[in-house]
Structure 1
Amino acid sequence: MDSALPACLAAAVLAGFIQGFSGFGSVLVALPVLLAVLDLREAVPLVSLLALSINVVMATKLRGHIQFRSMRLLFASSLPGMAVGGWILEGAPDSLIKGLLGGAILFLVFHSLTSNRPRAALGTGWTLAAGFLSGCIGLTTGANGPPVIAWAARQPWARDELRATLTFYFLVTGAAIVGVQAVTGLATQRVLTLFGACLPAMLAGLWAGGACSGRVGEAGFRKAVLALLALIGLNLCWQAIAAGLAGR
């Protein structure tokens, strides 16, 4: 048995549960767990495959609430972002990528804690920026959520519309990210084997998260998730700084 499998199974269950409950956050929670037992260039494609599978299920359930018109500019600006992300992933040190992921997580936490203004549709510039940053971060770390979640949180949408539109965006961009990773050779035999083993665990977590979403106070749960994400983000940033200092 692969020595990394127990941690990968735990990450898969956690990813499914978080996504099923809150509608986002699977990669941000699962990737640091995977990084404890896998190389970055194995953890990223594995978590990307898990996230893609989650979003297929979620998009099917929420398809009637997707705001397709708002997605056009977001998708268009994500493509050049993915190109830049591919270049970074190919030659950047692990410390830089961990720092990028940690910064993205902390940005999402900060935005979630300070976002109390009335929602209003954002302009074209903000949409283009969110798409570009999402594409870049997504291909580099597998976690393309923070910029788009921050953007979507400002839109005048109901809860199901917000979750459905985010899920659809993550589904389409996730498929593109997985495709690029496959072409560049990151989807190795080990990654695919671990994905096959983790898929049932992820689906179980997704079901459990959906079942709990109507029974547990969402406000309290979201605060706990944000606290966990903040610790993860700080830890990744510290690892990046420590690695950079050690490399001097």
Structure 2
Amino acid sequence: MGLYELVVIFVAAFIYGVAGFAFALLAVPLLSFTWPLKRIVPLVALLATSLNGLMLFKMRKSFTFKRVLPLLIGGLPGVLVGAYFLRHINDAFLRVVLGIVLVFYGLWGLKNPKRPFVIGDNWGYLFGFLAGFLGGALNTPGPPVIIYLTLKDWGKDEIKSTLQGFFFLLAIFVIFSHWRLGLITSEVLKNYLMAFPIILFGLFLGHRLYGRLSLKIYQKILYSLLVMMGLLSFPWKIGG
């Protein structure tokens, strides 16, 4: 693992420490310039799960499983439906729809920081289903969960801890799948051990900055990252 890879992992861990998500969003495309995806994806999954677990432990006083349960219940069947769509429908169409929704919602949120309305916990089943659908179809389960949390009347600690709980439990299934497929090799584990101190340092600095942010600024960061996720969702290479 070279200096470039370590810097990418550090920056992604720092952003994750601030926002509570987006580690894989940043790390995977940047690492893909020098490494093949079969080497990147299982490594990022291990690192992201470690970050989720550490952050969840740190924010355990703000976390309740009750907030995550509707998302998980809705997410399981969503994964199956998403996998079906991936097999039978052009994923470029799904990426375009996802990108448009995220960019417009993120820009709208930046322009109108006050949430238009507050939704109840039962909406978690629907947004969980959408998260599972996008996870099964495009491996991007995060956006619906983030949108759902921006429409809840919660503080930033409740939002961030719920993100950690959902992503941590989801990541366990991902790692298990990678292990069953033989993707977690000795080389991946070696790189994981090398990168682990780096993500700890990035997480520490990012979470320190998070502690100084107001709810309003934190929400702006979430909306900005949604716009970024939307732009990255577009199949830019099509036609080129």
* In structure 2, distance between residues paired with 1:189 and 1:91: 35
TM-score by length of 2: 0.78
Residues 122, 151 of structure 1: 8 Å contact kept: no
For 1:69, the equivalent position in structure 2 comes to 66
1:9 aligns with 2:3: no
Instruction: Provide the secondary structure at the position in 1 that maps to 2:59.
Output: helix
* Offset, 1:105: 6.0
Which amino acid counterpart does residue 120 of structure 2 have in structure 1?
L
Residues 95-115 of structure 1 deviation map (CA, whole Å, 9 limit, x = unaligned): 789768866864673464255
Residues 113, 216 of structure 2: 8 Å contact kept: no
* In structure 2, distance between residues paired with 1:192 and 1:24: 22
1:245 aligns with 2:231: no
1:234 aligns with 2:234: no
Deviates more, 1:108-117 or 1:34-43: 108-117
* Offset, 1:157: 1.5
* Offset, 1:195: 2.1
* In structure 2, distance between residues paired with 1:25 and 1:92: 26
Residue 117 of structure 1 is aligned with which of 115, 125, 131?
115
Q: Aligned residue pairs: how many? A: 239
Matches within 5 A, 1:87-102: none
For 2:165, the equivalent position in structure 1 comes to 168
Instruction: Provide the secondary structure at the position in 2 that maps to 1:38.
Output: coil
For 2:27, the equivalent position in structure 1 comes to 30
Which amino acid counterpart does residue 181 of structure 2 have in structure 1?
T
Residue 127 of structure 1 is aligned with which of 93, 106, 124?
124
Residues 106, 227 of structure 2: 8 Å contact kept: yes
* Offset, 1:191: 3.0
Residues 89, 139 of structure 1: 8 Å contact kept: yes
Instruction: Provide the secondary structure at the position in 2 that maps to 1:245.
Output: coil
Which amino acid counterpart does residue 120 of structure 1 have in structure 2?
V
Segments of structure 1 that go 5 or more residues without pairing to the other structure are none
* In structure 2, distance between residues paired with 1:42 and 1:108: 33
Deviates more, 1:80-89 or 1:205-214: 80-89
Percentage identity across paired residues of the two chains = 31
1:208 aligns with 2:205: yes
Which amino acid counterpart does residue 115 of structure 2 have in structure 1?
R
* Offset, 1:85: 5.2
Residues 35-61 of structure 1 deviation map (CA, whole Å, 9 limit, x = unaligned): 322333433322222211111111111
TM-score by length of 1: 0.76
* In structure 2, distance between residues paired with 1:93 and 1:193: 36
Residues 130, 151 of structure 1: 8 Å contact kept: yes
For 1:184, the equivalent position in structure 2 comes to 181
* In structure 2, distance between residues paired with 1:88 and 1:29: 25
1:78 aligns with 2:101: no
* Offset, 1:207: 0.8
* Offset, 1:152: 1.3
Residues 77, 128 of structure 1: 8 Å contact kept: yes
Segments of structure 2 that go 5 or more residues without pairing to the other structure are none
Aligned-residue Cα RMSD (Å) equals 3.6
